[in-house]
Structure 1
Amino acid sequence: MAHWLIKTEPGSWSWDDQVKKGVEGWDGVRNHQAAKNLKTMQIGDLAFFYHSVNEKRIVGIVEVVREAYPDPTDATGKFVQVDFKTVKPVPNPVTLADIKADPRFAELPLLRQSRLSVMPIDDASWKAICEMGGVSA
């Protein structure tokens, strides 16, 4: 199983929206590298749900329940979406500042490619971030 981080602007789609919906397609990704990451995801993979913009923090965990399929919001037909199911909140949200302050995360894509909206998270970082957030990995 692989691990990921997906970013969203809470004003557009928040953790509360995800919880209410339960399962939702992750659409609107128009960056080719992020889209490639979506295409790599497999059913059962887990992702951190990250609120971007003003909050900049990991607030929940979701699971891939449908692999990449055409994004209906893309008129060009080039981009895909995946469906995520709500798994659980992160009791102690992990902020970008927390991650930046920890040398274990120096190579994390969140720090190296800050504008990327869908990115892989290595197993050691996944476990450490879960511990920081009060989640059993």
Structure 2
Amino acid sequence: MAYWLIKSEPDVYGIEAMRQENIGIWDGVRNYQARNFLKSMKSGDLVFFYHSNTKPPGIAGLVQVVETMVVDPSQFEVDGEYYDPKSTPEYPRWHTVKVQFLEALPELLELNTLREQFEPEELLLVKRGSRLSVIPIADNVAQRLFKLGGFKHSA
């Protein structure tokens, strides 16, 4: 099992929307490095759900990968924000994953707390200027995040 962190703006798609949907597709990623991380995910991997571009930002919950290599349908939506004219149904350029809601934290595990607890070399999220929407999390860092956040689920 591997660990990951995915970012979303809570007013666009937050942990409560994920809870209501239960299983959702993680669409709209248009950064090649983040896309490659999505391609590296395996069914069963645990994923920290991070609220970005909000005050305060932080980890809001936990989801689990339930399906991999899903063709991202948003690349074909001509009027959509994530349309890719170079992508076709026969040769899609963007793949993603389906994730299932596991839990929402009662309190956000805030970015400031994460900056106090982790060095940028340990947790890319706390590195200034880091903007990737999907990042890998090392096992030892994940275990510390589980404790810090008081997660019910952990590995």
- When normalised by structure 1's length, the TM-score is 0.93
**Paired residue for 2:133, among 103, 111, 117?**
117
Residue 96 of structure 2 aligns with which residue?
Answer: 81
Partner residue in 1 for 2:61: 60
Q: Does 1:90 align with 2:105?
A: yes
Report which of the two has the higher share of strand.
Answer: 1
Note the C-alpha offset of 1:68: 1.6
Structure 2 residue runs without a partner (length 5+): 77-86
Counterpart position of 2:15: 15
* Alignment check: 8 A CA contact 2:70 2:98 kept: no
Computed over aligned residues only, the root mean square deviation of the Cα atoms, in angstroms, reads 1.3
Q: Does 1:106 align with 2:120?
A: yes
In the TM superposition, residue 105 of structure 1 has moved relative to its aligned partner by 3.5
Match of 2:2 in 1: 2
Distance in 2 (alpha carbons) for counterparts of 1:81 and 1:119: 14
AA at the equivalent of 1:130? F
How far residue 109 of structure 1 moved from its aligned partner, in angstroms, is 1.4
In 2: Cα distance, 1:94 partner to 1:68 partner: 29
Which one has the largest radius of gyration?
2
Identity over the aligned pairs, expressed in percent?
A: 37
Deviations 1:21-68 (A, max 9, x none): 000000000000000000000000000000000131101000000012
* Matches of 1:68 and 1:90, distance apart in 2: 28
- Unpaired runs of at least 5, structure 1: none
The alpha-carbon deviation at position 106 of structure 1 amounts to 2.8
Following the alignment from structure 1 to structure 2, what is the Cα–Cα distance between the partners of residues 12 and 118?
A: 16
The CA deviation at 1:115 is 0.5
Q: Given that residues 91 and 135 in structure 1 are in contact (C-alpha distance below 8 angstroms), is that contact kept between their aligned partners in structure 2?
A: no
1:130 is aligned to 2:146: yes
**Aligned residue-pair number:** 136
Is 1:51 the counterpart of 2:67? The answer is no
- TM-score, normalised relative to structure 2: 0.83
Task: Write the distance in 1 (CA, Å) between the matches of 2:105 and 2:5.
Answer: 13
